[in-house]
Every structure is written in C-alpha cells, then in structure tokens.
Structure 1
Amino acid sequence: MFLFALSLFFGSWLSSGVSLEFRYHNSAEVESYLREVNNTYEFTHLHSIGKSIEGRDLWVLILGKNPTTHQIGIPEFKYVGNMHGNEVVGRVLLLQLIDYLTRGYLEDQLVTRLLNSTRVHILVSMNPDGFESSSRDCMYSQGRFNKNGIDLNRNFPDAFSKESVPREVEVRAIMDWLTTESFVLSANLHGGALVASYPYDNSNKGSELQGGSSITPDNDVFIHLAKTYSYTHTTMHKENQCYDSKDFTDGITNGFKWYPLPGGMQDYNYVWGQCLELTLELSCCKFPSESELPGFWDANRGALLAYMQQVHLGVKGQVLDADGNPVLNALVEVEGRRNLCPFRTDINGEYYRLLLPGNYTFKVTIPGHEVLTETLAVPYGPGSFSALSHNFLLQRAEATTPSPSTTQPPQSCTASLIRAYLGDHSPSLASRGLTSLLLLQALFSTILL
C-alpha cells in the first residue's frame, strides 16, 4: 500500500496526473523527474552525456517512436538549456516541453506526428553547477559560469579565431555528443533578451562579413528558422521588448551583428557538426519570478513546436556506391553553398540538407566513383513532416586509381583537410592569405584538445 501511494505521489509529476509544477526545480528534482518519465513512457530514453565539474550528470531525454537508436530517414533534433546557469527560463520551458510531449503523444496530432517523424533530444541543463550557485537576481545573478569560472559559450573551438584554450568538461561532453548523433537542427536556450540569433557569431573580416553581419552559406535558411521562432512566439517578432536591449527587426539578429562572440556553441554546431543551430534569448529577465513562468510557457509553446518541425526542411537520403552499399564520408555539396567544413554522409551513408523550397544542384563525391551532379526540385517538407527523400546512386569510375580531385581527406574537419580540400572552398578563405593562416591554426588546435 505504501509503495502504491508513493507511486501516486511521483505520478503527480507526470502527464497521467497533475501537470509539472511551474517552479524552479533543483538538479536532484530534475533527475528524479526525468527518471520517472523514462520509467513511465516507452517512447523515451534517458542517458547521461557526461558530468559537470562537481559531478552532476548532464541528462539527455530522447523522445521518439524509436528512442534508443537512430532510424534511417528520421532526423535528429536537439534542444539545450541552461548553458548559462543563471539563465533559467529555458530550463523550465524544456521541462514543460517534455511534459507536453509525453502527455500529447498518441493524443495530440501535432505531437504524435512530430515524435513519429523525428528523434528529439532534450538536455535540460548544460550547466547544473552554475544553476545550483545562482541567486535569484533579474540580471546580475552569479551562476553564469561553470565551477571553474568559465563561460561555456566562449569555450568551443572557433573557426575564426586562432586562440586555443582548454575545453571545459561540459563543453567536451557536447563535442563528444555531436560525434555520436548526426544532429540536423538544434537550438540553445538563453535569457537576458528576447531575440532569435543565428550564425555566424564571429568573423575574421573575410568575405563572410557583409553589411556588419557575418554571413553563412545557409543564411537564407537561418533567417527562415529564426523568423519561424520569432513569429510563432507571441511577442518576439515585435520590437522594443526589453528596456535595456536594442531593437531587433522581426525579433531576429545575426549573432556577429549583435556582438562578436568567439568560441560560441552555435557556430561550432554548424561548422563542425553539420547541425544548424540558433541561440534563443527568451526573457528580458534572466531569473524571473516563478509567478511569471506560466506566461513564458504560453508565449513559447507554439514556437518550440514549430521550430522542431523545421527539421524536415530540404532533402534527406543516402549515398550508395556502384554496388548499392551506403557510403560513409561522401561529400554532398550544394552549388553556391561553400561550407567551411563540407557536409558529409554519416556511418549509414545518410545526408541531411536543410533547404528552402526551390531548385538546387548537388555534387556528390567519393573516391573511385564518378562525380555525380543532380538538380532536385525541393518542396516545403515541414508541412508533411518529411524532407524530400532522394538517394544518390554513384557509378564506378573507369580509372582504377582515383584522381586527385576525387581523393578525400578524413571525415573530421582538420587543418589537413583545409590544406587538401578547402583552400578554395571557404568564402572567408578566398579573400586573404592571413585569413587562411588563422583558420588553419584554429582548426589545427582542435586536433590537440
């Protein structure tokens, strides 16, 4: 009888009982809640991607029809919260999102279609040590940094900076996580402003710097993603939201245009992880009163769901060799989009390219095979919860020895890859020799850390 009563008590956290309470839950409470969710719903999977300096687990809850393993054709999506420990609204929203998704699966059509077509990863807190040390001040609370006093959003490798710094354990956990999952779309949740910020956050004043913004090859997609969030949010798209912040047209900004930020996580995701990521600033006050939390959820709920749905933009599929086998590490390039690190297929031979509707020419390259060029008409995928599916079938080259143009460096984007392949590929590298040298130094430093 006691155990039954205890289960009912914990059940009050879950969708089968009272909705998750709107308050700030400490790390132990968050872990207890996530474990209970994982034990209750078979479409969830809980695992730790590492530990903080003080030994707290970085818990990730995965939700989807097949939560434990990747399925071919099902894109991987992630939300990361509480990177700055004193910016707490995102942490609360991600707990509420978990509650909403678990209650809605097989009951709500949108939630069901999302989780049947997407594998969703949620890291509620990237900086639990910072959260535990935070004081409840609106703007100037301690707790922003990790236990070592490091800003985690300045600690990632940076393609535009030659500075080499030790990686914090929380940052290393994220970097390792990106090697285990082929993430397609992501957002990290912050506070202190109300805006959707998109890459690049940094620049070395090469040709990526245009009109005060640092522009990626996928700038059109990033602007679409940012506007998807800001216009689905109840107020973000309106100007003058925070008294001490600048006005953001449409509620969006290029990260560098707002302020230069070296070592940021969203640039790292995009350049090295092939994952398009936004930084979402969700509250003028970093640590608002608990009484305001329901209002934040109401303002962001639709935007969080709409943004997740955008993982189905563009094209997805596999690259298959002449024998019909999936090919690891094949280059899948879109004409006119010269990425610093070329997009490549994963261990399943899969590729995902987020693209707006239109016609695009693809070039697919693997050693020993003819270079394949195809033009595809890309529809709007989010409406049907699926990007255009297209497999690239390659033909074996007549020559027995691959030519230099089809010889590829290793999959990781390193200095040697830049020398061998990217010397004339990056917009920022094309402008000046010094730019090339700085980028080579930055990339080489990642090999050693």
Structure 2
Amino acid sequence: MNPDGFDEADTHCLFSQGRFNYNGVDLNRGFPDAFAGLRKQQELNEEQREAEVRAVMGWLRTETFVLSANLHGGAVVASYPYDNSNRGFDLMGVASITPDDDVFVHLAKVYSYNHASMKQGNLCEDSGPFRDGITNGYHWYPLEGGMQDYNYVWAQCLELTLELSCCKFPHWKELPALWMDNKKALLAYIQQVHLGIKGQVFDGSGTPVQKAVVEVEGRRNMCPFRTNQYGEYYRLLLPGTYTFRVMYPGHEVLTETLSIPYGPDQYSAMKHNFMLQRTTSATFHSPADPSSSCNYTLHPKGGSATTRSTWSGLTVGFGLVTLLQSLIE
C-alpha cells in the first residue's frame, strides 16, 4: 500500500525509513479519524488526501469487507481498535474500547495463540510486554488517522493490526521462517469471518433494501451498521443471545432476539433474514450518529524504534469468500 516507502526503505531493523510516501506523508496517519472532530475532517476532504489513502477508501466502498488485517513490522503483537480516543493523549496507557471489544479481543487471541510465539508477549526488547500477545491500540500508544479505526467506524469491517517481526525490514532469508510462524495464525484468523450472523433485509414488498440499519442492542456503533447494495448485512458476534433492531424508511422498526452459535467450525455464520413491514403512520428516524462526520464517506460514496511499524507493508481483507490460495499452498 506504500510502494514509495518500500522503495525507500533499507534493511535496517529499527529505523523507520520508508514510513512516508513520495510526498512525505505517513499514510497510516492519513485517514479520516472519528475522534479528530468534524472541523478537522472538513479541512482535509477526500480529494485532498493522498492517492494511496483515496484508493483504499474507494476500495472499501466497492466491496463488503467483513474482517481484515494489516500487516506491520517492528513488534510481535496483535493490536485491536480503537487506536485513538476523545479523552486526550495525556491518558496514554488507558484502553479505548469499542462496542465490539469482546469480539476484537477474541480475534486478537485467535491470532496470537495460533502464532508460533506471539502469545508470549515479550519477544522484542523495545516493545511490550503484551499480555497474551495482544494489545488495545490506544493503550499501547495513541494514533490518529489510522486505517484500523477507519475500517471499523466507516466501513463496518473489523480489522486488526498484526505486528509480525521485531525487525521492521526482515532479511529475505528470514521470510520462510516468518511464513511458517504465521501460516496457522493467518488461516485461523481468516476462518473467524464466519463468526456471528449474516443475511438480508427485505422491505414490505419482499425486495432487498440498501442502507437499512441493523443495530445490536448494547453495541451502538459510531456509524450504524447498514445493509449493502444487495440488502446484505454481516455482524461478527461471539456465541450468545442478542436483540436486533432493524430500521428502514417507511417501515416499522423490527425487533428480534436471536441465539447465535459459533460459526467458524462449520465455516458459516448463522443465516437470518429480516422481513420488514410497511407503515403509513410512523415516521422513520435513523439513529443519531454520535459523530456528525459519519456521513463523511457514505456520501460520496513516525517514528522511532519504539513506535509501531513502518507502514510499507500489506493489508489483507476477507469477505465471506476467501480467495487467498497462496495461504494453503
């Protein structure tokens, strides 16, 4: 995602040469940030952002990604959102928790415990220790404008930052061993795309509808999760009983309580369709967005040796069908 930086980077393990693109911008500080405030977001609209950032934002609008990971170097740990907070940088060392914190912790542990050694949590001299080999991003250190938070808040895609090597630029001879350390973890992580529930939302005439709100009680996200252009919704959830509220203009609010099993073992999340009924009296009110910048992408559609990775690496996204054949070869 940062070819300029990769070209510039040397093979030094600790220095962050290569973090910036040709324009001198750290791309993993260049995304809209839910905690930065609307004024700051308006100062830099999408057209003014770096080409690489715009490409990722556009990509996320054309595909319904459900689970993703971006791969970094500079530590060995699985980091999960939020990376930022509205509580101020003076509170570094305090976690910034998402409504789906239990799911994120589960995903991070799936990776760290299937990795050859990540769960030890103390593999690098200049980072950690990390209990169970995982960390909340903000608890580690605050980061504004990162892709991890952007994916979760605006793209409805749960993403982890996977730090895979103490050395930011491992020697090519180390790559086969790194692959073997991570192969099982990557496969186990991809399988977690089948957590929770999936399905479609249909209007009163039986037609799948786009941008219907599918909200889980007790998990009100900054930007409500909505159906895609095919009326599909996907919600990664741990096994349990959840109450769903489904809303769409001109229709009654639908409330259903469902018991969700563990899906990854069967390679399929629970499937459930929501059938809405038209109303002629009530007025639909979309849930208020805590951040008024939620519509930011709906319409239109550095560091020292101790800081997180040189961002000249790879991002892997997983939809409901995974086509990463190289992982099983």
1:318 equivalent among 183, 200, 210: 200
Residue 151 of structure 1 is matched in structure 2 by 26
Q: Where in structure 2 are the equivalents of 1:159-170 lying within 5 Å?
A: 159-162=34-37, 163=40, 164-165=43-44, 166-170=48-52
Q: Distance in 1 between matches of 2:214 and 2:16?
A: 45
Long gaps (5+) in structure 2: 302-329
Alpha-carbon distance between aligned partners in 2 of 1:193 and 1:258, rounded to the nearest angstrom: 12
User: 1:279 is matched with which residue?
Assistant: 161
Q: Given that residues 29 and 145 in structure 2 are in contact (C-alpha distance below 8 angstroms), is that contact kept between their aligned partners in structure 1?
A: yes
Q: Deviations over 1:123-174 (max 9, x none)?
A: xxx0112111211111115211111111111000001013344411000000
Moved runs in structure 1, 4+ residues, more than 4 A?
Answer: 442-449
Per-residue Cα deviation, 1:61-106 (whole angstroms, up to 9, x for no partner): xxxxxxxxxxxxxxxxxxxxxxxxxxxxxxxxxxxxxxxxxxxxxx
Kept in 1, the 8 Å contact 2:217–2:244? The answer is yes
* Residue identity matched to 1:148: N
Question: Which residue number in structure 1 is paired with residue 272 of structure 2?
Answer: 390
1:185, 1:311 within 8 Å by CA — same for their partners in 2?
A: yes
The alpha-carbon deviation at position 407 of structure 1 amounts to 3.6
Please list the CA deviations of residues 375-423 of structure 1 after superposition, one character each: whole Å capped at 9, or x if unmatched: 1110001001100000001112242xx41xx144xxxxxxxxxxxx425
Find the counterpart in structure 2 of residue 234 from structure 1. Answer: 116
Give the aligned partner of residue 268 of structure 1: 150
Does the 8 A contact of 1:340 with 1:422 survive in 2? no
Q: 2:231 aligns with which of 349, 366, 378?
A: 349
* Match among 416, 422, 425 for residue 288 of structure 2: 422
Task: Report whether the alignment pairs 1:367 with 2:249.
Answer: yes
Once the two structures are superposed, residues 93-123 of structure 1 have per-residue CA deviations (whole angstroms, 9 ceiling, x without a partner) of: xxxxxxxxxxxxxxxxxxxxxxxxxxxxxxx
CA contact 1:274–1:343 (8 Å) conserved in 2: yes
Contact 1:332 1:363 in 2 (8 A): yes
Q: Which amino acid aligns with 2:214?
A: V
In structure 1, the residue matched to 2:327 is: none
Larger Rg: 1
The SS at the match of 2:66 is strand
Q: Determine which structure has greater relative contact order: mean sequence separation of CA pairs < 8 Å that are 6+ residues apart, divided by chain length.
A: 2
Structure 1 residues 302, 448: closer, same or farther in 2, change over 3 A? closer
Cα 1:276–1:369 change in 2 (3 A) is: same
Equivalent position amino acid for 1:133 in 2: E
Question: How much identity, in percent, do the aligned residues show?
Answer: 66
Contact 1:239–1:247 (Cα < 8 Å) also in 2 = yes
RMSD value, Cα? 2.0
**In structure 2, the residue corresponding to 1:214 is in which secondary structure?**
coil
Match of 2:14 among 134, 139, 145: 139
The number of aligned residues is 291
- CA separation of 1:394/1:159 partners in 2, compared to 1, >3 Å: closer, same or farther? same
CA distance, structure 2, for counterparts of residue 157 and residue 335 of structure 1: 26
Q: Which residue of 213, 216, 225 corresponds with 1:334? A: 216
Cα gap change, 1:319/1:444 in structure 2, threshold over 3 Å: closer, same or farther? Answer: closer
CA distance in 2, matches of 1:168, 1:289: 29
